[in-house]
Structure 1
Amino acid sequence: MKYPRILLFIAVLTTEIAFLSSYAMAETTVYSTWKNGKLANTTYVNTVPTYEADKDLKGKSFQDLMVEGFEAYENNAHKHAWRLFSYASKQRPGNVESNVWHAKSEYQHLLHRDGESRAKKEALITVNNYLRDKPKNYVLESLKRRIERGLNPDSFSMEAMQFVLDARKAYGKKDYKTSSALYAKSVEIDPHNAVAWDSYAAAFYRSLTGSKEERRRATLPILEKGYSFNPDHDKLKRNIDRTKTRLSTK
């Protein structure tokens, strides 16, 4: 009788070691999220679990819903992420971050299932519904513009948007140097935010000393780089042409 027990013990021990080894080898991801305007990193183990469509979400805290949503999104389980972020948004209707991720995950799910046209249409409906409760919200308006331009909102970064919001505040206080630096960080993370590039150029221009010609010449590369990422943005093109015209008349 002892022999089978020893075999059973060895089998259980081997299984536990294998489980712990696989867990230790799993990729650990630090996901950036924002709380009250401050960066808060959330760490989770990046696995590929089987997500159940009818999984009961009741009883989950807002934080749990968001973290599980991030994990599902990173593992391309967009349908499950969509449900999680939707449920999180219902828990906290005023939380813009959950609203953004709801629209992003919805777009990805429908993109793979039904194509770009349907994904764009439904994601815009979702964003507009949130804008109805939060009219003129800068982040949601920016996401809406991104989708309307035909760009995949996967590129839309909440981290970059926080830099934009801080840059706007600094600009309003006429702290153009700080504003310029914050816009620079934003477009480095998310170069497809055409408005941020335009605002970056304006803040950078005002942060400089010297003649108008010198400042325009220094600012032009920012506009041109922004336009290289956003060739569909008319305002950037107009500002480039206007700047070049003014420089050529000197």
Structure 2
Amino acid sequence: MENTILLVDDERMIVEVLEAYLLKEGYKVYSSDNGVDALRKVDSVKPDLIVLDLMLPDLSGEEICRLIRKESDVPILMLTAKSGEEERINGIVMGADDYVTKPFSPKEVVVRIQAILRRANKQHPQQTEENILSFNHRELVLDLTKKEILFHDESINVTPIEYKLLSNMAKNPGRVYSRMDLLEKIQEDGISYEGYERSIDTHIKNLRKKVELDPREPKYILTVFGMGYKFGGVQDAKNASL
């Protein structure tokens, strides 16, 4: 089944060029040149990935990203004219999965889209007891088949990167991961993500807000000073199910 891409940019030339490249690769493409229409199409089209420009005539790309993240974990690739490290990190904080700075190569955008979708569209393993990770008397449950996280029996909305970090750490409780170790868990397909090592701290901060009763006193995602992070949950016996 072909993946659907929503392009959100008010520069018509950029949209036309990216659309041509994506159509050639077999994607179904929709486009929008403003934030209000983009949000409407997110609901109606249900895209598999959104390419989102930060500079739009009505709503900012940041606001659009925040609104989308309240309802969906659809992958978002941000387009920005700002190349500073802080701007890139801010994009990740908002919930973006990747970013590309303008001017850019259309081929690079397509490759990054393909990489994100490969991670999102991986074949789900067959449902077995081994694919359920339950911690602290089912306070935190990860279904590795459905890629779903439950905290106090409520489904938690996480970004694909947040899920990848948490699931990898939860599979190995007590193991200490350096920031570079965690960076390698989200960095695939031979693509370099400059400046992302520092953004690991941002992802950890966001995860703690979602899976900790008190993010200031975490019991699941623990800091190991001078080294990195480790998962501190106590795994339940292998008889939990969602």
TM beyond 0.5? no
Computing the radius of gyration from Cα coordinates, the structure with the larger value is 1
So what's the TM-score if we normalise by structure 1?
0.34
Structure of greater relative contact order (alpha carbons < 8 Å, 6+ residues apart) = 2
More strand by share: 2
More helix by share: 1
